[in-house]
Amino acid sequence: PGFRKHLGLLEKKKDYKLRADDYRKKQEYLRALRKKALEKNPDEFYYKMTRVKLQDGVHVIKETKEEVTPEQLKLMRTQDIKYIEMKRVAEAKKIERLKAELHLLDFQGKQQNKHVFFFDTKKEVEQFDIATHLRTAPELVDRVFNRPTIETLQKEKVKGVNNQARLKRIARERQKQYDCLTQRIEREKKLFVIAQKIQTRKDLLDKTRKVKVKKETVNSPAIYKFESRRKR
């Protein structure tokens, strides 16, 4: 009607129901809170009360520090060292097994072993030819493995894989094994450094006077000089 036009559009029934349900829900919640406050026991105690403090009107839980005796801390350090040492020994065994399988064939592109020849005169040194001395072909002198003599090459036939695709695949697999060996060597070094650092922190729990000689780095633990003490 025109006389109530200034009040706007009429509210739909579903909107009224939503608004009414929300109002009743809030009233029920307030009524339950009032009842809980009236029935609360003033002498009631919760363990959480000892860990909560009021800060700026907000309840904040205090952070409790773990109380550990020096003996318990030493024992925990010892357990950590044993675990790290166990992992390091496991890595060392895997490294030895990989080295035995690969025989360090031209590992990282560097020849691991050196062959020393001895001569009596300078003339022999000047006339020395390594291929002739080793009785092999000049093309095979730089090899550290699979270096047959000329007699063997004349008698025996070429054995093994001749397919280029298969040779490349074998080379890739061998390089993959070398990469795995390199990673395990680095991991074993890191575990050794970690064990040293834990042992140093365990030793610092002792009450003996000490002076720091060298700071801790990524690859080495800190070095301390302890006061000499006579043990009975």
Tell me the per-residue pLDDT of 75-118, one tens digit each, with 9 for 90 and over.
667 778 888 889 899 999 999 888 887 765 544 444 556 778 88
pLDDT of residue 123: 87
Task: Look at residue 108 in the predicted model and tell me its pLDDT.
Answer: 45
Which pLDDT score, from 0 to 100, does residue 62 have?
Answer: 77
Per DSSP, the residues of 156-202 read SPP-S---HHHHHHHHHHHHHHHHHHHHHHHHHHHHHHHHHHHHHHH
For residue 137, give the nearest of 162, 154, 155, 118 by alpha carbon.
154
Average pLDDT for 24-51: 86
Please answer whether residues 150 and 138 qualify as being in contact, where contact means their C-beta atoms are separated by less than 8 angstroms: no
Round to whole Å and give the CA distance between 207 and 202: 11
In a domain, 54, yes or no: no
Owner of token pair 């024992």: 75
Question: Do residues 14 and 33 share a domain?
Answer: yes
Provide the pLDDT for residue 66.
Answer: 59
Indicate if 187 and 78 belong to the same structural domain. Answer: yes
Same domain for 85 and 180? yes
pLDDT reported for residue 145: 65
The sign of the torsion formed by the CA atoms of 133, 138, 144, 146 equals negative
Q: Give a yes or no: residue 89 inside a domain.
A: yes
* Short-list 138, 136, 144, CA closest to 114: 144
**Residue with the larger pLDDT of the pair 1 and 173:** 173
Q: Is residue 137 part of a domain?
A: yes
Task: Tell me if 167 is assigned to some domain.
Answer: yes
pLDDT at 109: 46
Cα dihedral 75→91→97→167 (10° resolution): 170
Same domain, 24 and 120: no
Residue with tokens 């002198």: 141
Task: Please compute the mean of the pLDDT values over residues 47-72 and round it to a whole number.
Answer: 75
> What is 111-165 written as a DSSP string?
---------SSHHHHHT--HHHHHTS-GGGTT-SS----HHHHHHSPP-S---HH
Decide the pairing of beta strands 58-61 and 52-55: antiparallel
Q: What is the mean pLDDT of residues 50-56?
A: 82
Same domain, 120 and 150: yes
| Pair (167, 87) in one structural domain | yes
Cα 137 to Cα 181: distance, rounded to the nearest angstrom: 31
Question: What's the structural domain count of the chain?
Answer: 3
Write down the pLDDT at residue 41: 81
Determine what percent of the chain is predicted with pLDDT higher than 90: 13
Q: How confident is residue 126, by pLDDT bands cut at 50, 70 and 90? A: confident
H helices within 54-129, ranges in order? 70-102, 122-126
Return the pLDDT at 203: 82
Q: Distance (Å, rounded) from C-alpha 224 to C-alpha 204?
A: 9
Asked if the structure places residue 21 within a domain, the reply is: yes
Are residues 122 and 147 located together in one domain of the fold? Answer: yes
* Best mean pLDDT range from 6-20, 61-75, 97-111: 6-20
Residues spanned by the domain of 178: 70-95+160-193
The answer for residues whose C-beta is within 8 angstroms of residue 204's C-beta and 6 or more apart is 210, 224
Over residues 142-186, the pLDDT tens digits come to: 776 677 888 887 787 656 556 678 778 878 888 888 888 899 999
Same domain for 76 and 185, yes or no, is yes
**How would residue 23 be classed by pLDDT, with cut points 50, 70 and 90?**
very high
